[in-house]
Amino acid sequence: MKSTGKVTGIVSNLVTVLTDGPVSQNEICYINCGGTRLMAEVIKVNGKNAAVQVFESTRGLKNGDTVEFEDKMLEATLGPGLLSSSYDGLQNNLTTMTGVFLKRGEYTEALDHRKLWDFTPIAKPGDKVIAADWLGEVKEGWLPHKIMVPFAFKGEFTVKSIVPAGQYNIDTVIAVLTDADGEDANVTMTQKWPVKIPIKGYREKPRPSRIMETGVRVIDTLNPIAEGGTGFIPGPFGCGKTVLQHAIAKQGDAEVIVMAACGERANEVVEIFTEFPELIDPHTGRHLMERTTIICNTSNMPVAAREASVYTAMTICEYYRAMGMKVLLLADSTSRWAQALREMSNRMEELPGADAFPVDLSAIISSFYARAGMVVLNNGKTGSVTFIGTVSPAGGNLKEPVTESTKKAARCFYALEQNRADKKRYPAVNPIDSYSKYLEYPEIEEYLSEKVAPGWVQMVEKTKNIIRKGREAQEQINILGDDGVPMTYHEQFWKSELVDFIILQQDAFDPVDSVTPMDRQEYMLKLVLDICDRSFEFEDFEQCRKFFNEMINLLKQMNYSEFKSENFNKYQEQLNNLINNGK
């Protein structure tokens, strides 16, 4: 039963409503505001009073305006056509519009209802199926998009009929399923799902056991992220969060990418719309956008819409994961999402937690990150959602609540450092503070030993030690002066510089250096470690500095040359000569 109500109070986007019947938490409603219907979500219920958060400006709204409750939560529309689309947090389709912003009270269709898709059946009459089982498939770009038994279907069904291969739009009934009581249900190519509830429809969710390659050395070599894993990139403004995320989007070993541009400044979002469609997918040579969905909300959109956007994005990811795909979700920045939570909780006059964020901020962030993961589907195939979010802590303070809460939830930490960005040491990932907890998983260690090189994790540890020792040596040199320390300190410092310049630093805008495949990462790390294993007898620190500078230059040239090309080999030879003569 749908309830109705009347507006009794308005504070910005927070509206109180006197209801005539039951309404539930997170239920969607529409408020009639002078001929416009404003969408809103119930965020608190107290007897006959409901507090609703309006997704748009409440300008002109007055007491007594009528409210219609929908008896359902905020839902995402799922079906073929999600890829290459751009949406706002409420899944209004921004690609079909002329400008980036909709007029107030205007909502668009998420999917094209006329477009015909080439459908091929997978199931046949008589098959027993449950929610999320695959009934058929259409080609979405070059990806096999599975048409599934709707996630909301409960219990076992028998396929009564299924249409033959052919062209159909998303509203065509492609299958009729019969439940245990003999009731028939129609299935089309589209379904809806409440965004705040994780899509289940899988058999189990084991711990991630494989690595997702990104081509970014500071990630893959030193702090790898697992397929189905979680990571976050905190960093002050201008330190390279967006550049790093775009590199991961472009190069990450995933089939589907969902970019949630969450509450960033309007000009940054416009950048995504102009940049992203231009990007070429290095895996296929086609436009990256063909396998990407963009969800965006700018910071001038109302808080509730901003809050919804990350959930809409995650729901789309889970939908593709249920098809057995590798999905990568990137959210930039989750701080704006947390700020939206804060604004809402403050207006509700809830008891605030640290920095006025909601008391349960940690729990909200954790349960969101927990939706990522690798799953085993009912048919035994696997699918995954890997999630990397950025955090923009005010003033670069990593002790603030959003960073701290995210640190508890995410397993990889890529801390961008102002100091490194100032020195143009990109990507400005701090090599000491950053980590990947996946390196501690025995199954990941085994995977790396098998796929990359035996004893790989120990090599990574050794590399991190070189950086740590380099920092210590540098501190001593700074205190005691170049001549005040033994030569070994200079050597230690320069060995860490070698690791820094050759492994850590990577030019995101160079066609060769920007993407480093794993076999090349292995080759370069071994080469660098081999140099670090040697001890050189320098007469003075000037000679040491000169020697390492020459070496860094040659190795840098190698990074900029095609792997094992003529140039690459030439620089390698020069390097060998230098090392042998310098000994």
Residues that bind ligand ADP (CB under 6 A): 235, 237-243, 426-427, 507-509
Comparing CB distances to ligand ADP, the nearer of 194 and 427 is 427
CB of 271 to ligand ADP, least distance (A): 9
CB of 428 to ligand ADP, least distance (A): 7
| Packing angle, helices 334-347 and 401-409, rounded to 10 | 120
- Residue 426 partner contact from Mg ion, ligand ADP, none using kind-dependent CB cut-offs of 5 to 8 Å: ligand ADP
- Residue 60 partner contact from ligand ADP, Mg ion, none using kind-dependent CB cut-offs of 5 to 8 Å: none
Strands 191-194 and 75-78 come out as antiparallel
CB of 560 to ligand ADP, least distance (A): 13
92-96 LR contacts (CB < 8 Å, sep 24+): 94/273, 94/294, 94/296
Q: Which residues contact 526 (CB under 8 A, 6 or more apart)?
A: 453, 459
- Residue 507 partner contact from Mg ion, ligand ADP, none using kind-dependent CB cut-offs of 5 to 8 Å: ligand ADP
Half-sphere exposure of 55 (CA within 13 A, CB side): 31
Q: Does 242 bind Mg ion (CB under 5 A)?
A: yes
Q: Which stretch binds Mg ion (CB under 5 A): 242-250, 290-298, 490-498, 538-546?
A: 242-250
CB of 397 to ligand ADP, least distance (A): 15
Please provide the DSSP assignment of 71-96 as one string: EEE-EEEESTT-TT-EE-TT--BSSS
Comparing CB distances to Mg ion, the nearer of 53 and 251 is 251
CB of 396 to Mg ion, least distance (A): 14
| Both structure tokens of 355 | 């920095």
- Residue 243 partner contact from ligand ADP, Mg ion, none using kind-dependent CB cut-offs of 5 to 8 Å: ligand ADP
- Residue 547 partner contact from ligand ADP, Mg ion, none using kind-dependent CB cut-offs of 5 to 8 Å: none
Q: Which stretch binds Mg ion (CB under 5 A): 72-80, 90-98, 241-249, 486-494?
A: 241-249
Question: Residue 455: left (phi > 0), alpha (psi -120 to 50), or beta?
Answer: left
Q: Could you tell me the CA-to-CA distances from 224 to 58, 372, 436, 447, 454 in Å, in that order?
A: 46, 16, 6, 12, 16
CB of 262 to ligand ADP, least distance (A): 13
Q: Which stretch binds Mg ion (CB under 5 A): 157-165, 236-244, 280-288, 456-464?
A: 236-244
Please provide the DSSP assignment of 442-487 as one string: HHHHHHHHHHT-TTHHHHHHHHHHHHHHHHHHHHHHHHH-GGGS-H
Query: By Cβ distance, which residue is nearest to Mg ion?
Result: 242
CB of 424 to ligand ADP, least distance (A): 7
Distance CA 202, CA 199 (A): 9
Give the residues lining the site for Mg ion (CB under 5 A): 241-242
